[in-house]
Amino acid sequence: MKKLFLILGFITAILALILAVTPLFKIAYIPSIATLTFGLLALFTFKEKQHNKKPIQLIFLMTIIALALTTYKAVFSKSEVGNTEQLELKEEQLEEESIEELDGLEIDLSTE
């Protein structure tokens, strides 16, 4: 069980770090919470016997770094909306083209 918690902790910590530096940083909280859970479980299972606690400390360090990066990016990144006039013009043009195309179709509604 101890090794399982350590392995899962490392995997989720690495995943949290990877997600924290990508544009998908907002979902990095999920593996970070999982990492904290696995780290605490590993800490409590290792507490029973005297073992090397460096891997657990490394898991917590990676989680703290991932959480700090994610929080920083969430607070200081701003969403910029580009020029929407071009998109609106293109949308109107496509709508007009589709109306013209539908007007050109002949539909036979006679029932036999």
Q: What is the pTM of this model?
A: 0.67
Residue 30 has what pLDDT?
Answer: 94
Sequence-distant (≥ 6) Cβ neighbours of residue 18 within 8 angstroms: none
Q: What is the DSSP string of the chain?
A: -HHHHHHHHHHHHHHHHHHHHSTTGGGGHHHHHHHHHHHHHHHHHHHSS----HHHHHHHHHHHHHHHHHHHHHHH--------HHHHHHHHHHHHHHHHHHHT--------
Higher pLDDT, 72 or 50: 72
9 domain-assigned: yes
Q: What pLDDT is recorded for position 111?
A: 63
- 103 within domain boundaries: no
Count the domains in the chain.
1
110 within domain boundaries: no
Question: Domain range holding 42?
Answer: 2-77
Tell whether 83 is covered by a domain. Answer: no
Tell whether 25 is covered by a domain.
Answer: yes
Residue 34 lies in a domain: yes
Does residue 92 form part of some domain?
no
Query: Is residue 91 a part of any domain in this protein?
Result: no
